[in-house]
Amino acid sequence: MRKALLITPFPPQPTGLADYAMRILSLTKDHVEWIVAYPTGAEPVKGLHCIPIKELRDEHFNLPAVYQVGNSPHCEEVIETLLNHGGTGLFHETNMHHVLRNRANSSGDWDSYNNHIEYDYRENSDSFRKIMNKKAKSFSEYDRRLRTYPLVGKLVASSRVIAVLSNTAKYELERLARGKSVIRMGFLPDFLERAKRSLKTSDTITVGIAGTFHYGRSWEDMFRAVQMLRKTINCRLLIAGGGWPETDHSWITTTGRLPDKEFREELEKIDIAIDLRHHTCGETSGSMMDILRSGIPAVVTSEGTFRDIPADAVLRISADSGASGACAALKYILKSDKIRSSISNAASKYFAEVSNKDKCLREWLDLIERSSNEY
């Protein structure tokens, strides 16, 4: 059994990285003896060797250390530990501006934030700060600004080994990694069996949005697209995920955040999915991977890691297409059983290739071996 240290957000923290940590541990449990270090707000998991990040000692870092790095406040302690000790970074995103700015806002430690700016932007740092410190007209504008101006360089420099979950992320971090190898990993599913798809009891088309709300998901455009679609097609909107704006429309159902099994059951009710992300942070959308796994035809934007999905496995549109373009794309898929079937088959095939369990296990064992060689 290999021994290794995993520093990660952990349940019950409401972040996809916590769920993904459980998938890593499930995949490798017969091959790796993990010590799992978790941040404040998470809880130890029975049957695992767990320790709070704040209780880690120097001897723990004699083991190969893998950090799950994501762009949310749940990753603040993970990021600080990576910066202080180095190791292997599993980057779920390629822009950490949100989490770094949030840390500065909440802690008052603007020196650390400014150090990240100086590292990435050098002679343009003052211009960068002027842009970021200008008052935003809305949360959406502020969010777009964070996504447009990435910060990640110091984290890349602190990672002796770099792993990512998409080709887009690989290309971006190779550009920043100054000769370091960047390893493209497969995407880990939840390892649950697919929920059974129940027989439809009505002719109402269910358009679905999956995953957690954030301002980069173009909620207004997706809402208007389905609203426009309803003028000619009998349809409803199902939102499987948490944090979405409240609405009193009877044709919209929002589930809130769900456990994996219940989330999967909701997905199987969806006939066609929509995800109009813009100015992404290089994230691999776990919710979109779940949509592909279930063979659900989807309309997506040509943004970020959505570009990695084969052209025949989704219908991609420009992020500038707006609600009318998204509505037209939904209509195009819905007009033909042949089109839906073709996209569905290609989506399932792509997921099966990138999430093959044996292949993913080999990749993880190789990653830990590489990490061991760096110590």
Pairwise CA distance, residues 266 & 260, whole Å: 10
Pairwise CA distance, residues 19 & 333, whole Å: 32
Q: Which CATH architecture has domain 2-96+152-188+356-373?
A: 3-Layer(aba) Sandwich (3.40)
Tokens of 130: 């002027």
Residue type, 289: M
Q: Over pLDDT 90: what percentage of the chain?
A: 92
pLDDT at 199 over 90: no
Enter the pTM of the model: 0.94
How deeply is 268 buried, as exposed, middle or buried, from its count of CB atoms within 10 A (0-12, 13-18, 19+)? middle
Which pLDDT score, from 0 to 100, does residue 192 have?
A: 86
**Domain segments of the chain: what residues?**
2-96+152-188+356-373, 205-354
Report H helices in 10-92.
16-28, 76-85
The string of DSSP letters for 175-231 reads HHSTT--EEEPPPP---PPPPPPPPPSSS-EEEEEES---GGG-HHHHHHHHHHHTT
Q: How many CB atoms lie within 10 A of CB 81?
A: 22
Correct CATH for 205-354 of 3.30.1330.40, 3.40.50.720, 1.10.10.10, 3.40.50.2000: 3.40.50.2000
pLDDT at 159 over 80: yes
pLDDT (mean) for 64-91: 96
Q: How far apart, in Å, are the Cα atoms of 159 and each of 13, 66, 85, 366?
A: 24, 9, 9, 16
- Please tell me if the domain spanning 2-96+152-188+356-373 has the same topology as the one spanning 205-354: yes
